[in-house]
Amino acid sequence: ELDVVTFGETMVLFTPELTLPLEYSDRFYKQIGGAESNVAIGLRRLGHSVGWFSKLGNDPFGRYIHKFIRGEGVDTSRCIYTDEAPTGIFFKEKYSPTNVKVYYYRKNSAASLLSPNDLDEDYIARAKFLHLTGITPALSPSCRETVFKAIEIAKKHEVKIVFDPNIRLKLWNMEKARSVLLEIAKEADIILPGLDEGEILSGRKTPEEIADFFGKEKIVIIKMGEKGAYYRSGNESGYVKGFPVSQIVDPVGAGDGFAAGVISGILRNEPIFSAVKRGNAVGAMVVGVSGDVEGLPSSEELEEFMKGVIHFQG
């Protein structure tokens, strides 16, 4: 009985030690990166039970990812290894803390071979939430089919669907992204777009208009960076201010931390306003620390941060 099940590609990430063009970087930190596993780890640190799975290459990088995520206490029992393709990897190139370029080596990766047959219906059926991102359907036609099959399973068993569009225009073009992501959004119970993503998907400008576009029966929460977020749930709506961050060390992963915080709040039966506040706090904590998962707080750290007792700094 898991609180949340999620799946998608996690890659090994190499971050240069110094702020230099990648061409001149010769020392790297090895970390992992993947939106879905970030959310899984975030939720786990906050005390929830989470399952994450992917297709991993039967290689050192695949085993590293598996061990890392399992080491966080996430259930990885549904991970599948393949000899057909390697584990994807990517590199960051740091020009400044807020100006980071990313180079992917993920085409035809093991994760892109995920297919509907890899899904364990019972496993998803027993979860409270299925978390999906818009990255998975962009990886390959079989990944897209897997996402829709997972949606079908969730619907059949009344598992709530949380959807973060995570538009990645490096993976597909705007037109294709829009049509597939809107199809997924239609099936979701909770949608978590950034303001720019909301604009792309809906063709509308303001958070209020974007929330209207997705419809009253859904919870729509729109991320607005340092400003915080806007939410609408039934007849309730409003802006929730972000937490001040003393120094932005690494903006990547804020959205995933936000998702973990919001889902955590909802699992704790908090009112939606307070779940969004929890999301804002986790997002703010993540940008203060280098790496996507390193800044994800435990519940104690989160409580202290929200009370203003601790400030995270890289």
305 is an interface residue for ligand ATP by CB under 6 A? no
Q: List the beta bridge partners of residue 300.
A: none
- Give the residue from 79, 112, 72, 106 showing the smallest Cα distance to 91: 106
297 is an interface residue for ligand ATP by CB under 6 A? no
Q: What is the DSSP letter of 87?
A: P
The tokens describing 311, both together, are 């400030």
97 is an interface residue for ligand ATP by CB under 6 A? no
Instruction: Please count the CA atoms within 13 angstroms of the CA of 129 that sit on its side-chain side.
Output: 27
Respond yes or no: is residue 256 known to be catalytic: yes
Q: In whole angstroms, how close is the CB of 224 to ligand ATP at the nearest point? A: 5
Judge contact between 273 and 288, C-beta under 8 A: no
Judge contact between 199 and 210, C-beta under 8 A: yes
198 is an interface residue for ligand ATP by CB under 6 A? no
314 is an interface residue for ligand ATP by CB under 6 A? no
Which stretch, 57-65, 89-97, 131-139, 276-284, contacts ligand ATP (CB under 6 A)? 276-284
For ligand ATP, the closer CB: 141 or 271: 271
For the CA atoms of 178, 179, 185, 187, what is the dihedral angle to 10 degrees?
-170
Encoded amino acid at 220, one letter: V
34 is an interface residue for ligand ATP by CB under 6 A? no
287 is an interface residue for ligand ATP by CB under 6 A? yes
* Contact map string, positions 216 to 255, toward ligand ATP, x by CB under 6 A: -------xxxx-xx------------xx-x--x--xxxxx
Judge contact between 97 and 250, C-beta under 8 A: yes
* Residue in 284, 289, 293, 302 binding ligand ATP, rule: CB under 6 A: 284
- Give the residue from 104, 110, 112 showing the smallest Cα distance to 139: 112
User: Which residue's structure tokens are 């419809």?
Assistant: 215
283 is an interface residue for ligand ATP by CB under 6 A? yes
194 is an interface residue for ligand ATP by CB under 6 A? yes
Q: Is 119 helix (H, G, I), strand (E, B) or coil?
A: coil
Q: In whole angstroms, how close is the CB of 209 to ligand ATP at the nearest point? A: 18
For the CA atoms of 205, 208, 214, 219, what is the dihedral angle to 10 degrees?
140
For ligand ATP, the closer CB: 48 or 277: 277
Return residues touching ligand ATP (CB under 6 A).
194, 223-226, 228-229, 242-243, 245, 248, 251-256, 258, 280, 283-284, 287
What residues are annotated to the active site? 256
